[in-house]
Amino acid sequence: MDYGIKTWGNDNFFIEDGKVKVNTGCEPSLIEIIQEIRRDGIRGPILLRFPHLIQKQIRMIYKSFADAKKEFGYEGNFSAVYPLKVNQFPNFVKNLVTLGQKYHYGLEAGSKAELILAMAYNNPDAPITVNGFKDNEMISLGFIAAEMGHNITLTIEGLNELESIISIAKDRFGCVPNIGLRIRLHSSGIGIWAKSGGINSKFGLTSTELLEAVNMLRDANLLEKFTMIHFHIGSQITDIAPLKKALREAGNIYAELCRMGATHLRAINLGGGLAVEYSQHKTTLHKNYTLSEYANDVVYLLKDIATQKGVHEPDIFIESGRFVAAHHAVLIAPVLELFSQEYTDQKLRPKEINPPLVQELYDLLGTMNRKNALEFLHDSIDHMESLLTLFDLGYIDLQDRSNTEILVNLIIKKAVGLVADKKLSEILDIQDRVQERYLVNFSLFQSLPDFWGIGQTFPVMPLDRLDEVPTRSASLWDITCDSDGEIGFNTETPLFLHDVDIKNRDYFLGFFLVGAYQEVLGMKHNLFTHPTEATIIIDDDGYSIENILESQSISDILEDLDYDIKEVQENLNDRIEASDIISEKEKKHILGEIYLFLNDNGYLKTINNEDNSQ
Ligand code: PLP
């Protein structure tokens, strides 16, 4: 009933009075925040940002490394940069930069556009690191950043980039960025994002290339600019062991390079990878270590290697993004419909003489009790299969078929209610067979692309009714016209939701930990755009809803695809004007409607009835 909130929630949310509440300040419930936003007429999915959760993650990182440094008497410095690729949305980045100011928290860029952002927003005195493939223009941008006074390190992915740096340094104004070398480790990561490490990875210099790079730098009189080595074994490192192995390898490379005369080499950049616990179930945890364990291991291992090899203890850089960004955003989406909601007994149309199996379904429904519930449920599902075959063979008619569907659904509802308090293992099989489909007003492709792309799961739970036992095994359907837009019921990690009548009562689902990667990877499948977003600031006296940014309108999204929106509008107008099925007055009315549609977003608004707009 708590949807594993203690496992994935990081103490950020808790349940009280049947509602999910935010664990800070005045502790508002998510449902009251959403209802307040909706009071202004906003509908569809809404992404809530909580800046205090960005602050919490940044604070935890710096504190854990400060504690580890103290514990082991470590002499190197600790720095962190936020990799922009994880979430570049302004209402996230601007908050992050402000909140990170006192730590000199920096930014990492992996493209020209991200570098421009870093140059424009990075905190003074905070580092910038640049990774990824670079052409001459991107390298020149790095020089411009250095010329502006930024503390920037360009990390070289291949020797050709180093050649470009050497050549550009000759042509510019004497101010050269720091240079990092990305090392190609033998060690690789673990999990679905492990491809960034290992000898066959896309990035980094081999040992031979490293030696060559040092010689090139020495020959160009730029060895003093070589300050950092960098590696990244993949995002969401689920197990600490591969990281420790990679650290040993990187630490030894660092020591060897220092001993070879890289006099200004001072830092090891571990890249990102700190994992987030996404699991709602204790049996399927997504990581096996804590942040302080990570910090202690990093500091201890690097100290150990430096001592063994007689080199100075390196400064430590990390580029963890997922860990910093994931927690801050929650997507709230209204449930629009329960698939079985239309199956009510009012819709039954019994015949004077029903076919025997249909009559038996009536009897099963009427006589079902707690003791026989599962048996009757099995029987009813078997009967339904037989009745559908009879329909295909022409022995029963559409009305019998409709009665069958309604009766079986009524039996399912009654049975799951009767056995709700039984052990999950006893009823899991049947729950799998009697899933309820919840149609949810969001696009999985836009808001949870990693679920679609690589099967990454995210915690999901209703925002209220948490003091009532959820009885329905749920599969979630999004509103795209694509059957991949579904989070199916999984008996390993089952999701149960409440049996709600959406016509009479709202029911919202929260998708948590969606602040990392999901927003920018989101696809405009079916032309559903980034959802409406709002930033929630909470203190002891109350909360405020700021920076509401409504989801793009249909006009905007068509323009993004390079449609000439005037042409679209003119085509529509001409076709309406030319219609001879409607009157002039009706045409005017329709033109007004079209105008409103074009200027609104494409998520669903009303379903079932006007009063219950979603
Ligand atoms: N640094 C580099 C070089 C990366 O490629 C990535 C992402 O894959 C990161 C940092 C961020 O990783 P994460 O979000 O897992 O911390």
Q: What is the DSSP string of 245-271?
A: HHHHHHHHHHHHHHHTT-TT--EEE--
pLDDT attached to residue 201: 61
Ligand 1 centroid to residue 156 C-alpha, Å = 16
Q: How confident is the model at residue 609 (pLDDT cuts 50, 70, 90)?
A: very low
Ligand 1, atom 10: nearest CA belongs to which residue?
272
Nearest 5°: the CA angle 519, 524, 525 is 125
Mutate to test the pocket of ligand 1, among 129, 183, 232, 289 (most ligand atoms within 8 A of CB): 232
Of 83, 71, 39, 5, the C-alpha closest to 517 is 83
User: Of the candidates 85, 89, 78, which has an alpha carbon nearest to the alpha carbon of residue 109?
Assistant: 85
Query: Residue with the nearest Cα to atom 6 of ligand 1?
Result: 272
Catalytic pick from 26, 175, 258, 481? 481
Question: How far is 505 from 440, CA to CA, in rounded Å?
Answer: 14
Q: Which ligand 1 atom sits closest to the C-alpha of 155?
A: 3
H-helix segments, 335-423:
356-367, 373-392, 398-418
Cα dihedral 246→250→253→255 (10° resolution): -130
What structural domains and CATH numbers belong to the chain? 5-50+330-339+435-552 (2.40.37.10), 77-320 (3.20.20.10), 342-431 (1.20.58.930), 555-598 (1.10.287.3440)
329-379 residue pLDDT tens: 999 999 999 988 778 889 999 999 999 999 999 999 999 998 999 899 999
E strands, 225-340, in order: 226-230, 267-269, 315-318, 329-338
Q: How far is the CA of 106 from the centre of ligand 1 (A)?
A: 14
Q: Is 518 near ligand 1, meaning CB less than 6 Å away? A: no
In contact, 92 and 331? CB cutoff 8 Å: no
- Check: complex ipTM more than 0.95: yes
Per mean pLDDT, which range of 96-105, 128-137, 430-439, 486-495 is the poorest? 430-439
Whether the CB of 274 sits within 6 Å of ligand 1: yes
Q: Which amino acid, one-letter code, is at 228?
A: M
Handedness of CA 418, 422, 424, 426 (dihedral sign): negative
d(CA 451, CA 444): 8
For ligand 1, whether the C-beta of 155 sits within 6 Å is no
481 flagged as catalytic: yes
Total Cβ atoms within 10 A of residue 467: 11
How far is ligand 1, taken at its centre, from the CA of residue 74, in Å? 25
Residue nearest to atom 9 of ligand 1 (CA): 272
Phi (first) and psi of residue 32, to 5 degrees? -70, -35
Q: 297-315, pLDDT tens digit by residue?
A: 999 999 999 999 999 999 9
CA angle 421, 426, 429 (to 5 degrees): 115
d(CA 53, CA 317) in angstroms, rounded, equals 22
On the CB side of 596, CA atoms within 13 Å amount to: 6
Tell me the mean pLDDT in the region 271-298. 93
Closest among 511, 514, 413, 510 to 464, alpha carbons compared: 510
Q: Indicate whether residue 515 lines ligand 1 (CB < 6 A).
A: no
Give the separation between CA 444 and CA 447, rounded to whole angstroms.
5
Q: Can you give the pLDDT at residue 100?
A: 97
Index of the ligand 1 atom closest to the CA of residue 322: 14
Q: Is the pLDDT of residue 610 over 50?
A: no
CA of 131 to the centre of ligand 1 (A): 10
Are 274 and 322 in contact by the 8 Å Cβ rule? The answer is yes
Is residue 108 within 8 Å of 130, Cβ to Cβ?
yes
- The secondary structure of residue 547, as a DSSP letter, is E
Mean pLDDT within 200-220: 87
3-state class of 108 per DSSP? Answer: strand
Residue 120 CA from chain centroid, whole number: 26
Query: Could you tell me the distance, in angstroms and rounded to a whole number, from the CA of residue 193 to the centre of ligand 1?
Result: 10
What phi and psi, each to the nearest 5 degrees, are found at residue 260? Answer: -80, 0
